[in-house]
Structure 1
Amino acid sequence: MPSLAVISLAGGVGRTTLTAALATLAARQGQSSLAVDWDPQNLLALHFGLEQPPAQGLAANDANGRPWQDSALRSAEGALVLPFGRLDVEQLRDWYPQMARQRGWLAERLAQIDRPDPASVAVWTFIDTPRSPSLLTEQAMLAADAVLLVLRADPGAVALLPEALAMAAAKPLVALLNGFDASRPLQQGVRAALQARLGARLAPHVVHRDEAVPEAFARQVALSDAAPHAQATHDLHGLLRWLGGRFDSPLQLQLGADDVG
């Protein structure tokens, strides 16, 4: 199974929520699941039950001269979680030049993590990223096998699509509509426009707008626990199965995005 950089060019599309949900579902299915927070907002761990953003993390430990491996957490579902950690503006200003010089920094660190043999169990990595374009998003895409582009069904998604495709041109890409409301004709029209442009790269499984999602986050429980029969829960199960089928062999990851059926 692939490592996926979860990206978007718009804010508020649900990248972090989606990253956590997919990592949790994969872990609950007995698969090896790693969720990486590569966003300075440092909120991913809250989706795994923490009450406050953790001070330690992959970036924060490195910037403060501590072993980054010490920041790893294990969720109740069995997913391995790497927080970003807490860095203030001044610390980020000092740390970013290092990331600009060492574009493969994240890929090198993730390669050091001991993971199971993919021949014996599915191995997933989901990398949450800041809003693109971003130096950190570029690093995440370099570290990943493929890109998951998260979109809202609004005109902005269509307008920004060429930029997103150009930015991720070096990696296989699939796109997902998140927070979809089928009752709105505008959203149906945007979905049709994206389908015409993306073809098989647009996931057939949209994640519908569902109040169960923010409610589960507020209660600090997994969506599948808070609302196992919710539409969004069903959508996410379908999406994970589709992603597994989409990238179930090294050959498919080596092919260009337009060549993968």
Structure 2
Amino acid sequence: MTIIAVFNQKGGVGKTTTTANLAAAMAKNGLTPLAIDLDPQAHLTALSGLNPKVERTVYSFFNQQTPLSDLVTQLPNQVNLIPSHMELARVDMMLSQNRHDLRRLKKAMAEEMLSSSDTPVLIDCCPMLGVLSLSALMAADVVLVPVTAEYLAMNGAQQLDQTLKGLATKGLYRPRKVFINRYQRGHTTSEKVAHELTRRYGKDFCNTRVFESQSVLESVGQNKDVFSFAPDSEGAEDFSYLLDELIESGFIKVNM
């Protein structure tokens, strides 16, 4: 299976809703995905309706070396989640950006056979390029980049390109796919951003467009993924199509 880091060096582009809804789409298709909330803001954890004690979160992995598998919570939609906590912000002070510390997550996933199992893994990253995000990029096989239909989000994707090039020079090449999120049909800015992303990324830009959707927005308010909240909505359809494209292109490898 594939380990996917969901990342953009700009906040507010929909990394958390992408992680939650792609994981839900996988579960709907009979897979048992694992989502890891690696953002101290813990939005994925909150969206999942959880408010765990700090020792039951991924912070305990970094602080106490608690096995990742001991921190998993199964959600009602059959997604497994390792939750986060605001204390996770301390990790950047606790650890350095040396290779040993940055490989800790990757090493643990390998030792616990999370990276070689039939479980796809999605890592919801924070936008800051620090120990947490670099750890996710080290652990990941691929990087999925949501870009909202606005110009500043494209700048965040460009910054990520430079980061990935830097990793590649150290023998850590990570394929990436970019997709447009919160697209508004017929909106001038949306059309211009989509055209520019197509020009810039070519085959690495997804054909699927995830439209601005009331169902996705409302599902967040109900602490649900869009499939649980509105299974027949356009939002659910968009994320189903996105997952299909990522699988059919070979970007995500699954055993169905």
TM category, shorter: 0.7 to 0.9
Deviations 1:88-127 (A, max 9, x none): 76x4464233877511011112223345976xx6x31101
Following TM superposition, by how much is the alpha carbon of 1:230 offset from its aligned partner in structure 2, in angstroms?
Answer: 1.6
What SS does the aligned partner of 2:206 have? coil
- Change in Cα spacing, 1:105 to 1:187, as seen in structure 2 (3 Å) is same
1:152 aligns with 2:151: no
Give 1:228's match in structure 2, choosing from 219, 228, 231: 231
Percent identical pairs in the alignment equals 23
Following TM superposition, by how much is the alpha carbon of 1:64 offset from its aligned partner in structure 2, in angstroms?
Answer: 4.3
Segments of structure 1 that go 5 or more residues without pairing to the other structure are 251-261
Alignment of 1:13-52 (within 5 A): 13-50=13-50, 52=51
- Change in Cα spacing, 1:226 to 1:158, as seen in structure 2 (3 Å) is closer
The range that moved more, 173-182 or 54-63, is: 54-63
- Change in Cα spacing, 1:248 to 1:162, as seen in structure 2 (3 Å) is closer
Alignment of 1:60-71 (within 5 A): 60-64=60-64, 66-71=66-71
Residue 257 (structure 1) aligns with:
none
Segments of structure 2 that go 5 or more residues without pairing to the other structure are 166-172
CA contact (8 A) 2:5 2:143 kept: yes
Alignment of 1:81-230 (within 5 A): 81-87=81-87, 91-92=90-91, 94-97=93-96, 101-114=100-113, 123-169=119-165, 170-230=173-233
CA contact (8 A) 1:151 1:176 kept: yes
Deviations 1:175-218 (A, max 9, x none): 01111112311110111011011011111111111111121121
In the alignment, the residues of structure 2 paired with residue 27 and residue 113 of structure 1 have an alpha-carbon distance, to the nearest angstrom, of 21
CA contact (8 A) 1:60 1:87 kept: no
The range that moved more, 140-149 or 72-81, is: 72-81
What is the RMSD of the two structures over their aligned residues, measured on CA atoms? 2.5
In the alignment, the residues of structure 1 paired with residue 236 and residue 94 of structure 2 have an alpha-carbon distance, to the nearest angstrom, of 38
- Change in Cα spacing, 1:80 to 1:249, as seen in structure 2 (3 Å) is closer
Residue identity opposite 2:8 in structure 1: S
- Normalising by structure 2, report the TM-score: 0.85
CA contact (8 A) 2:48 2:223 kept: yes
Aligned length: 245
Residue 256 (structure 1) aligns with:
none
